[in-house]
Structure 1
Amino acid sequence: MLADEAVTTTAPETVESAQPSSRRRVERSTVVARVAAFLGALGLVLVYALRGGSYDLVVFQEHGLVIWWVLAIGIAVGLLPRARPSRPALVLLGALLAYALWTAVSLTWTESAERTTVELARVLDYLGLVALLSVTLGRDNWRAGAAGLAFGALVVCALAVGSRLAPSVFGTDHAAATLHIDRLSSPFGYWNAVAAWGAMSTAIGLAWSAHDRSRIGRAVALALVPVACLTTYLTYSRAGLGGTLLAVLAVLAFSRSRLTVLIHTVVAAAGAALAVLAVRGAPEIARATGTRGSATVLAALVFAAALCAGVAVLTGLHRADKWRIPRPVVRPLAIAGVVAVIGAGAVIGPGLVRHAWHSFTHTTSAVSSTDPTARLASLSGTRYPVWKVALKAFDAHPVGGNGAGTFEFWWNRHATDPEFVRDAHNLWLQNMAELGAPGLLLIIALTISALALGVAVRRRVRRSASAGATAAFLSAFVVYLLHASVDWMWESTAVTVLALAGVAAVGARLGSRRFRLRWPARAALVLLAAVAGLVQVPGLISTTAIRRSQAAERTGNGDQALAWARLAVNAEPWSASAYEQRGLVLESAGRLPAAAQDLQRATSHESTDFSHWLIRARIETERGRLAAATSDYQRAHRLRPLAAVFALAPFFKGTGAGP
Structure 2
Amino acid sequence: MSRLAVAELDAVHARLRAHVPAFAPGLIAVGLMLVWAVHDGGYDADTWYWGALATLATLAAVLIALGAERLRRSRLTIAAATLFGLYVAFSYLSISWAQSPGDALQGSNRALLYLLVFLLFASLPWTAEGALAALAVFAIGVGTIAIVLLFRLASADHVQRLVVEGRLLAPTGYFNSSVALFTIGTLLSITLATRRELRGLLRGLLIALACACLQLALIGESRGWLFTLPLVALATIALVTDRLRFVAASLLPIVAVLIPLHRLLAVYKSNGAASLNHAASRAGQLSLALCAAVFILATLIAWAETVARPRALSPLRRRQVGGLVAAFVLAASCGGALVATHGHPFSFVKRQWHGFVHPAGQGTTSSYFGVVGSSRYDFWRVSLDAVVAHPLGGLGQDNFSDYYITRRRTSEEPQWTHSLELRLLVHTGVIGFLLFGGFLATAIALAVRRRRLGATPRTRAAAGAALLALVVWLIHGSVDWFWEVPALSGPALGFLAMAGALTADTSAAVPAGAAQGSQGAQWRLRSREALQRVPGAAWIAGAGVALLAAVLVLALPYLSVREVSLATDVRATDSSAALKDLSRAAKLNPLSPVPGRLGGAIALQVGDYRTAEARFRQAIGREPGAWFGWLGDGLAASELGDRVRARHDFEVAYSINKVQPAVGQALARVGSKHPLTPAEAFQMFVIAQ
Same fold (TM over 0.5): yes
Q: Please state if 1:579 is matched with 2:596.
A: yes
Which residue matches 1:416?
409
- Rounded Cα–Cα distance in structure 1 between residues aligned with 2:457 and 2:598: 57
Tell me the CA shift for residue 262 of structure 1: 2.1
Tell me the CA shift for residue 554 of structure 1: 1.0
Deviations 1:130-166 (A, max 9, x none): 1122223433733322332333233333334344334
Q: Please state if 1:192 is matched with 2:176.
A: yes
Is the Cα contact below 8 Å between 1:418 and 1:644 reproduced in 2?
no
Is the Cα contact below 8 Å between 1:203 and 1:248 reproduced in 2?
no
Letter in 1 for 2:650: Y
Tell me the CA shift for residue 524 of structure 1: 1.0
Q: In structure 2, do the counterparts of structure 1 residues 590 and 455 end up closer, same or farther at CA, with 3 Å as the change threshold?
A: same
Which residue matches 2:285?
295
Is the Cα contact below 8 Å between 1:272 and 1:304 reproduced in 2?
no
Which residue matches 1:7?
none
Letter in 2 for 1:609: A
Tell me the CA shift for residue 332 of structure 1: 13
Which residue matches 2:549?
531
Q: Bigger shift: 192-201 or 259-268?
A: 259-268
Is the Cα contact below 8 Å between 2:563 and 2:582 reproduced in 1?
yes
Tell me the CA shift for residue 235 of structure 1: 0.3
Which residue matches 1:142?
131
Which residue matches 1:11?
none
Deviations 1:313-340 (A, max 9, x none): 5456665695454299679979x99xx9
Which residue matches 1:238?
223
Q: Bigger shift: 295-304 or 97-106?
A: 295-304
Which residue matches 1:91?
79
Is the Cα contact below 8 Å between 1:480 and 1:499 reproduced in 2?
yes
3-state SS in 1 of match to 2:167: coil
Is the Cα contact below 8 Å between 1:196 and 1:243 reproduced in 2?
no
Which residue matches 2:499?
506
Tell me the CA shift for residue 31 of structure 1: 6.3
Which residue matches 2:187?
203
Is the Cα contact below 8 Å between 1:199 and 1:232 reproduced in 2?
yes
Is the Cα contact below 8 Å between 1:175 and 1:190 reproduced in 2?
no
Normalised to the residue count of structure 2, the TM-score between the two structures is: 0.81
Q: Please state if 1:271 is matched with 2:256.
A: yes
Question: What does 1:169-184 align with in structure 2 at a 5 Å threshold?
Answer: 174=161, 176=163, 180-184=164-168
- Equivalent residue for 1:224, pick from 199, 205, 209: 209
- Rounded Cα–Cα distance in structure 2 between residues aligned with 1:186 and 1:332: 36
Which residue matches 2:121?
133
Identity across matched positions, percent: 22
Which residue matches 1:46?
34
- Rounded Cα–Cα distance in structure 1 between residues aligned with 2:351 and 2:627: 38
- Rounded Cα–Cα distance in structure 2 between residues aligned with 1:560 and 1:247: 51
- Rounded Cα–Cα distance in structure 2 between residues aligned with 1:650 and 1:321: 81
Letter in 1 for 2:252: V
- Rounded Cα–Cα distance in structure 1 between residues aligned with 2:459 and 2:7: 29
Deviations 1:219-260 (A, max 9, x none): 232222211110110101112234444343222212222221
Deviations 1:65-105 (A, max 9, x none): 12113323443466688653333333332232121111111
Q: What is the number of residues matched between the two proteins?
A: 627
3-state SS in 2 of match to 1:501: helix
Question: What does 1:341-420 align with in structure 2 at a 5 Å threshold?
Answer: 357-364=353-360, 367-369=363-365, 371=366, 373=367, 375-377=368-370, 380-420=373-413
- Rounded Cα–Cα distance in structure 1 between residues aligned with 2:427 and 2:22: 42
- Rounded Cα–Cα distance in structure 1 between residues aligned with 2:400 and 2:414: 8
Which consecutive residues of structure 1, in runs of 5 or more, have no partner in the other structure?
Answer: 1-17
Deviations 1:55-74 (A, max 9, x none): 00111011101211332344
Letter in 2 for 1:218: R
Is the Cα contact below 8 Å between 1:174 and 1:189 reproduced in 2?
no
Is the Cα contact below 8 Å between 2:125 and 2:503 reproduced in 1?
no
Q: Please state if 1:484 is matched with 2:469.
A: no
Tell me the CA shift for residue 183 of structure 1: 0.8
Q: Please state if 1:436 is matched with 2:433.
A: no
Question: What does 1:453-602 align with in structure 2 at a 5 Å threshold?
Answer: 453-510=446-503, 518-555=536-573, 557-587=574-604, 591-602=608-619
Tell me the CA shift for residue 501 of structure 1: 2.0
- Rounded Cα–Cα distance in structure 2 between residues aligned with 1:67 and 1:432: 27
Is the Cα contact below 8 Å between 1:163 and 1:186 reproduced in 2?
no
- Equivalent residue for 1:305, pick from 274, 295, 307: 295
Question: What does 1:51-66 align with in structure 2 at a 5 Å threshold?
Answer: 51-66=39-54
- Rounded Cα–Cα distance in structure 2 between residues aligned with 1:454 and 1:89: 10
Tell me the CA shift for residue 395 of structure 1: 1.5
Q: Please state if 1:603 is matched with 2:620.
A: yes
Q: In structure 2, do the counterparts of structure 1 residues 365 and 231 end up closer, same or farther at CA, with 3 Å as the change threshold?
A: farther
Alpha carbon RMSD of aligned pairs, Å?
A: 3.8
- Equivalent residue for 2:92, pick from 78, 83, 104: 104
Tell me the CA shift for residue 46 of structure 1: 1.8
3-state SS in 2 of match to 1:326: helix
Is the Cα contact below 8 Å between 1:173 and 1:187 reproduced in 2?
no
Question: What does 1:12-91 align with in structure 2 at a 5 Å threshold?
Answer: 26-27=14-15, 29-30=17-18, 32-33=20-21, 36=24, 39-40=27-28, 42-76=30-64, 83-91=71-79
Tell me the CA shift for residue 541 of structure 1: 1.3
Tell me the CA shift for residue 129 of structure 1: 1.1
Letter in 2 for 1:619: A
Which consecutive residues of structure 2, in runs of 5 or more, have no partner in the other structure?
Answer: 1-5, 335-343, 507-531, 679-689
Letter in 2 for 1:623: L
- Equivalent residue for 2:246, pick from 261, 266, 282: 261
Is the Cα contact below 8 Å between 2:155 and 2:281 reproduced in 1?
no
